[in-house]
């Protein structure tokens, strides 16, 4: 057999891929479906078409994402029907979600919890630990004679834990919402409106659930801020005076960080599924942005941002 015949036989033994077929491994479909569903729900929630309570139902149905991933792994990369199978899993999840919402408890009124905590004698520092579930959160500066004031609303089946006391010279406040059983949001979205003592140095640990969060800390002395975002848009305006350090972890939704005029900052930002946009004049070195002169300015902030699913935007405070 000459060289020409051997070459012809070798070419005839090779498998020629079908036209339009991908030569490599099929890409995963479960991940894009999850992002599409989250994006649609966020859009409908922001437009007021669906209530924030849908996220409580969605959290209970998260195992469907594992089912979809398993189905996609078994058949999605081997057959042309894999995408349809993954879509079917999410369709079943939607039907279960509708059924679950239909059988949830009926409408009931929100419960108001007025909050008024005086500054204990001997207090030199303050600490707030806050954890909400479904709420529109607002935190601002309050009157000097009150440690924490405002009002908290809870949904039916929600329980509010409120603790406060003095540890040494630190006045500590803890506010935490928990739920027993299924939570119905037909009564509306609860509002958490809090005002903090402006003259005390604060350590804030804020963990949000579902809903928009606005922390306007311009009139508050904050030495340390830890924010763990949930589902919804979050806006943080940093203090005007003093040195502060902030660690912000985004959830699902846009995270906006606002700097008052005259504040210098060193920002380390790592985006998740989204982009980091800094609209202020800054010097950039990789993930680090230098705004003003944070090494010499007494009014400065050290900021660390870890993005979640959504855009991270850094801008000047209006």
Domain ranges of the chain: 27-102, 111-316
List strand residue ranges (DSSP E) for the chain, in order: 111-118, 125-131, 136-141, 146-154, 158-167, 170-179, 191-196, 201-207, 213-216, 221-228, 234-237, 243-249, 255-259, 264-270, 276-278, 283-285, 288-291, 300-306, 312-316
Q: Please, which residues have CB within 8 angstroms of residue 235's CB and are 6 or more apart in sequence? A: 213, 214, 215, 256, 258
pLDDT digit string (tens) for 19-77?
Answer: 444 444 455 555 566 666 666 666 655 555 555 555 555 556 656 566 666 666 666 55
Residue 4 banded pLDDT, cuts 50, 70, 90 = very low
pLDDT digit string (tens) for 47-56?
Answer: 555 555 555 5
pLDDT digit string (tens) for 92-106?
Answer: 666 665 555 545 554
Q: Where are the alpha helices (DSSP H) in the chain?
A: 3-13, 30-46, 54-60, 63-71, 82-102
pLDDT of residue 158: 87
Residue 13 banded pLDDT, cuts 50, 70, 90 = very low
Q: Give the chain's mean pLDDT.
A: 79
Query: Residue 296 above 90 pLDDT?
Result: yes
- Global pTM value: 0.71
pLDDT of residue 182: 53
Q: How many CB atoms lie within 10 A of CB 315?
A: 14
Q: Where are the alpha helices (DSSP H) in 74-181?
A: 82-102
Residue entry with tokens 């999840």? 93
Residue 133 banded pLDDT, cuts 50, 70, 90 = confident
pLDDT of residue 170: 97
């Amino acid at each position: 057999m000459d060289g020409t015949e051997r070459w012809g036989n070798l070419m005839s033994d090779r498998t020629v891929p079908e036209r339009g077929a991908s030569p490599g491994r099929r890409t995963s479909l479960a991940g894009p479906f999850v992002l599409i569903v989250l994006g649609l729900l966020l859009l409908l929630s922001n437009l007021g078409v669906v209530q924030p309570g849908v996220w409580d139902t969605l959290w209970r149905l998260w195992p469907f994402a594992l089912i979809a991933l398993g189905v996609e792994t078994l058949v999605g990369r081997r057959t042309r029907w894999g995408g349809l199978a993954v879509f079917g899993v999410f369709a079943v999840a939607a039907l279960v979600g509708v059924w679950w919402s239909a059988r949830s408890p009926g409408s009931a009124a929100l419960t108001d919890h007025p909050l008024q905590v005086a500054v204990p004698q001997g207090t030199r520092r303050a600490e707030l630990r806050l954890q909400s579930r479904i709420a529109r959160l607002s935190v601002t500066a309050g009157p000097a004679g009150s440690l924490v004031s405002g009002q908290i609303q809870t949904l039916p089946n929600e329980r509010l834990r409120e603790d406060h006391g003095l540890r040494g010279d630190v006045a500590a406040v803890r506010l935490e919402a928990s739920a027993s059983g299924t939570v119905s949001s037909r009564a509306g979205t609860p509002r958490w409106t809090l005002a903090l003592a402006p003259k005390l140095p604060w350590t804030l640990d804020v963990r949000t659930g579902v809903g928009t969060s606005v922390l306007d800390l311009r009139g508050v002395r904050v030495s340390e801020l830890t924010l763990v975002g949930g589902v919804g848009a979050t806006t943080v305006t940093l203090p005007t005076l003093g040195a502060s350090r902030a660690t912000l972890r985004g959830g699902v939704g846009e995270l906006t960080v606002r700097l008052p005029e005259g504040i210098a900052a060193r920002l380390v930002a790592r985006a998740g599924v989204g982009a980091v946009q800094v609209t202020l004049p800054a010097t950039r070195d990789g993930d680090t942005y230098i705004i003003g002169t944070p090494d010499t300015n007494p009014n400065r902030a050290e900021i660390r941002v870890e993005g979640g699913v959504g855009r991270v935007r850094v801008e000047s405070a209006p």
